[in-house]
Amino acid sequence: MERNSIFDDIKYQKGVGPKMAEILNQMGIYTKYDLLTYPPFRYIDRNIVEEENIRDGEYVTIFAQVVDCGEIFTRKGKYIFQAVAKTKNDNYIFLTWFNNRYIKNYLKKGDTAIFSGKVRVKRSVYEILHPDFEIFKDDFFELINTGKIVPIYHTKSKITQKYLRKLVFTLIKTFDRIEEDLPYKLVMRKGLMSLTDAIKNLHFPENEEKKEQSLRRLKYGELFYTGLVVAKRKLEVKEKKVEKNYLLKSKLVEKFISSLNFKLTKDQEKSIEDILKDLRSERPMNRLLMGDVGVGKTVVATVAMLYAVESGYQAALMAPTEILAQQHYLKIKDWVENLGVDVELLTSSINENKRRYTQISDGVIKIVIGTHALIREDVVFKNLKLVIVDEQHRFGVIHRSSLKEKGIDVDYLVMTATPIPRSLSLAIYGDMDLSEIRERPSMQKEIKTKWVSPNGIEKMYDFIKKRIDNGERVFIVCPAIEGGEEAEYESVKKVYENLSKTYLKGYKLGIIHSRLSPKDREKVMMKLKEGTIDVLVGTTIIEVGIDVKEATVMVILSAERFGLSQLHQLRGRVGRGEKQSFCFVVSSKDITDDAKKRLQVFCKYNDGFKISEYDLKLRGPGEIWGKRQSGIPVFKFANFFEDFDLMKEAFRDAENLLYSDINLLKKENRIVRINFERSLNEKID
Ligand code: ADP
Ligand code: MG
C-alpha cells in the first residue's frame, strides 16, 4: 500500500528495510517527518567550480566526461582503479582510487560525472585522489551528492552519508509540498520561510542565506510550540478569578518576623511582598521563588504559610526527600510553635499514625510538611489553600501539580535552588511569576574552596583537626556506600574505618547513607547538630539535607565522580553560620580532561548561577535533569543559549495566538490545534 503521510513510520519508506529502520530508530528517527527534520551537523560545498577558479590544493567539484578508465595491479599486488576525464575546456583530470574494487561497477568510459576532492594542478592537468563522484544523467536537479551544497549527518553503523542523503532527497521529492505547521498568517507576518523550503534548505541549502532562513524557521517552529504549552498553563491560572479570603493585614506575620534573631535581607523582603500581594489578589498565586542554597527561602515560605493559617486556611510544604522534609519541619516548628500554630510532619515512614490523618482532614493541623507522602490518596485536607513545593535541585512537573489537586484553586509557590539561565526558566517556569533571592544573609562568608591532590591529604586532615578542636563540624562525602578492595573510588564504610584508625583517631565520627532507616539518619543528624559527633561521613544524601550552623568544612572525596551542580549543592551544606567555611575537593591522580575542567570551574566560582551555566554548557539540560519527565523541552534546532531572543519572540507570538483563540477553534488555527495535541500526546507516553 502506498503511504504518504509525513508522519508514517519510517519503515514504510522505500529503501528502508527492517534492519535499516532499526538503526534509524536508534538515531531518533521514527517517522518520515523525523528524517525530514534530521539536522545535518555540517555541510560541504560541492557546487561545481568554474575552471578558471580551480587552485592547487583546494577542495573542488568538477564536471567532466570519462575518456578512459581501468584497473591496475601493482607489482606488490595492490589494486588501483584509474580514470581520465575531460572537462568542458578540454583539460584533463586524473582520478585514482586505491583498494576499491567497486568503482569499476559505477564508473564507465563515456560517463559524464561530477568529481569532488582535493585537487592538485600540474600545468593545467588536474589530479584528484579518491574523489567522491556522482554520475550525471541529464538533470542537475537529480544530483544528490555533488553539484550543490551537500549535508553531512551524524550516522550510525550501516547508515552511510550517501544512503541517508538519498532517503532524504527522495522524501523531499515525494512530499513536494509539506503542509505548514504554523498558521499561514503568522508565517506571512513574520516573513518566515515556508516549511517546505525550510526542509529543502535544511538538507540541500541553495546558499548560505537560505540555510540561515531555514534554520530560523525550524527553530521558530519548535519554540512556538514550546511557548504554546507554557502559554496554555499560564492561561489556566491567570484567567481564573477565585474566591479568596486572606486577611488584609496579618498580625501573625509581623509577630513572626520580629521574633527572628536576624534581619531579613532586601531580597527576602521583596519576595515576601510579592507573595502577600499574590495571595490577596483575586487570582491564584503561581510563583517561583528562586535562590541559591542557603539564601534563606524557608523564612519566606514560612511567612506565606503563617499568613494563610491566620486567614483560616491550611498550608502544605512538600520537599523532595525525607531528610529535607524533617529539616524544614524542625526549623519551622521551632519558629512557629510559640506563635500557637500546629505543624505536622508527614512522610512515608511515619504514615502509620492514623490520628494525624484525621487531624489534617479535620483542619486541626494547619501546616503540614512532608514528602511525596503528601500526595497519597488517603491524605485529605479540610481547606488547603497554599501549596509550597521545595524542588531544591530537581524539576518535577508531574509530582508538583498533584498536591495542588488536594485543595480548590490553591495558591502555589515553587522554590528552587537551581539558578538556571533565563531562557531555560522561561521554558520550564514561563507560566509562573518570578521572585529571586540573590543577596545572601550578610553574616555568611564566602566559602573557600580548594582542590587537594592525594599528596595534600595529610595536611588537609591536620587543618580539619584544628577546626574540630575549635568546636566546628565536618562533612566528608564519598561517591559510594561501600566498594570492594580494588574499587578506585572512596566508599563511606572504608573511609569511616580508615579515618577512625588514622588521621582522625580519637575524634567522634558518624556515618550516614541511604541504607540507614530515616529514623537512624535523623538521629545521626541530630548528633552532629548537638556536637555528640564531630565528623559525618556519608554519601550525597548529605546534599539535600542537614543544616548545621557549626559545620564549616566539607570534604568531597573522589570529587571527579560528581557533576558540577552536585558539587555546588554539597558545598552549600556548609557556610551557614558566621564562621569562615571551607570546601576541599580531593581527586584521584588520573582524571579526564572533562573532570579537570569541572573541578577548575568549581573552585573558581562560588556563585550557583555561574556554576549551573557552565554545567549546562558542558552537559546540556537533558543530561543534567533527565529528559522527558522533567518537563524540559528537547530541541532539534533551537539552543537555550543562543536563541533567547527568538525564544522570547516565539513565546510571545504563541501567547497572543492562544489569547485570541483559547481553544484553537478558528479555522486558520486548525493546524496549530492538531500539532499541539500531537505534541502533548507524545509527551505523555
Ligand atoms: P534555603 O532554603 O534558601 O537553602 P534556608 O532558608 O535554609 O536557605 O536558610 C539558610 C540559613 O540561613 C538558615 O539557618 C536560616 O535560618 C538562615 N537565615 C535565613 N535568612 C537569614 C537572614 N536574613 N539573616 C541571617 N540568617 C538567615
Ligand atoms: Mg532550603
The string of pLDDT tens digits covering residues 377-416 is: 888 899 999 999 987 655 445 455 677 778 888 899 999 8
* Ligand 1 neighbourhood includes 293 CB (under 6 angstroms): yes
Range of 200-214, 238-252, 284-298 with top mean pLDDT? 200-214
- Output the CA 579–ligand 1 centroid distance in Å: 15
* Ligand 1 neighbourhood includes 265 CB (under 6 angstroms): yes
pLDDT value at 146 more than 60: yes
pLDDT for 682: 62
Angular region, 15: left φ>0, alpha ψ -120 to 50, beta rest: left
Nearest-atom number in ligand 1 for the CA of 265 is 23
* Cell numbers representing residue 188 in the block: 506571512
* Ligand 1 neighbourhood includes 302 CB (under 6 angstroms): no
pLDDT for 617: 75
Mutation to probe ligand 1, out of 447, 576, 578 (largest number of atoms < 8 A from CB): 576
pLDDT for 629: 46
pLDDT for 438: 86
Region 161-170: what's the mean pLDDT?
90
Q: Which domains are assigned to the chain?
A: 47-147 (2.40.50.140), 251-437 (3.40.50.300), 448-605 (3.40.50.300)
| Secondary element (H or E) of residue 585 | strand 582-586
- Output the CA 549–ligand 1 centroid distance in Å: 10
* Ligand 1 neighbourhood includes 296 CB (under 6 angstroms): yes
Region 138-164: what's the mean pLDDT?
82
Mutation to probe ligand 1, out of 298, 318, 549 (largest number of atoms < 8 A from CB): 298
| Residue nearest to ligand 1 atom 9, measured at CA | 296
Cell 556563585 -> residue: 607
* Ligand 1 neighbourhood includes 291 CB (under 6 angstroms): yes
CA 51, CA 403: separation in Å to the nearest integer? 71
Instruction: List 112's β-bridge partners, or say none.
Output: 65
Q: Is the pTM of this model over 0.85?
A: no
Look at residues 647, 615, 274 and name the one whose alpha carbon lies nearest to residue 426: 647
The string of pLDDT tens digits covering residues 452-461 is: 988 899 999 9
CA 569, CA 540: separation in Å to the nearest integer? 9
- Output the CA 394–ligand 2 centroid distance in Å: 13
Nearest-atom number in ligand 1 for the CA of 572 is 4
What share of the chain has pLDDT > 90, as a percent?
A: 42
Ligand nearest to the CA of 268: 1
DSSP letter for each residue of 139-200: -GGG-SSSSSEEEE----TT--HHHHHHHHHHHHHHTSSPPPSS-HHHHHHHTPPPHHHHHH
Separation in Å, CA 406 to CA 332, 379, 402, 411, 637: 22, 8, 7, 12, 39
Ligand nearest to the CA of 441: 1
Q: Do residues 256 and 264 lie in contact, with contact meaning Cβ atoms separated by under 8 Å?
A: no
Q: Do residues 422 and 277 lie in contact, with contact meaning Cβ atoms separated by under 8 Å?
A: no
- Output the CA 547–ligand 2 centroid distance in Å: 9
The string of pLDDT tens digits covering residues 226-246 is: 899 889 888 877 777 888 889
Which burial class, exposed, middle or buried, applies to 316 when counting CB atoms under 10 A from its CB (0-12, 13-18, 19+)? buried
Nearest-atom number in ligand 1 for the CA of 298 is 6
Mutation to probe ligand 1, out of 547, 574, 581 (largest number of atoms < 8 A from CB): 547
- Three-state SS at 320: coil
Handedness of CA 652, 656, 662, 665 (dihedral sign): negative
Nearest-atom number in ligand 1 for the CA of 300 is 6
| Residue nearest to ligand 1 atom 10, measured at CA | 294
pLDDT category at 111 given cuts 50, 70, 90 is very high
pLDDT for 426: 78
The string of pLDDT tens digits covering residues 2-26 is: 457 888 888 888 888 889 999 999 9
Nearest-atom number in ligand 1 for the CA of 390 is 2
Instruction: List 388's β-bridge partners, or say none.
Output: 317, 413
DSSP one-letter code for 9: B
Region 662-668: what's the mean pLDDT?
89
The string of pLDDT tens digits covering residues 562-619 is: 888 889 888 988 887 788 999 999 998 888 888 999 999 999 998 877 887 788 777 7
Ligand nearest to the CA of 299: 1
Residue 384 or residue 626, greater confidence: 384
Nearest-atom number in ligand 1 for the CA of 295 is 3
- Radius of gyration, alpha carbons of the chain: 32
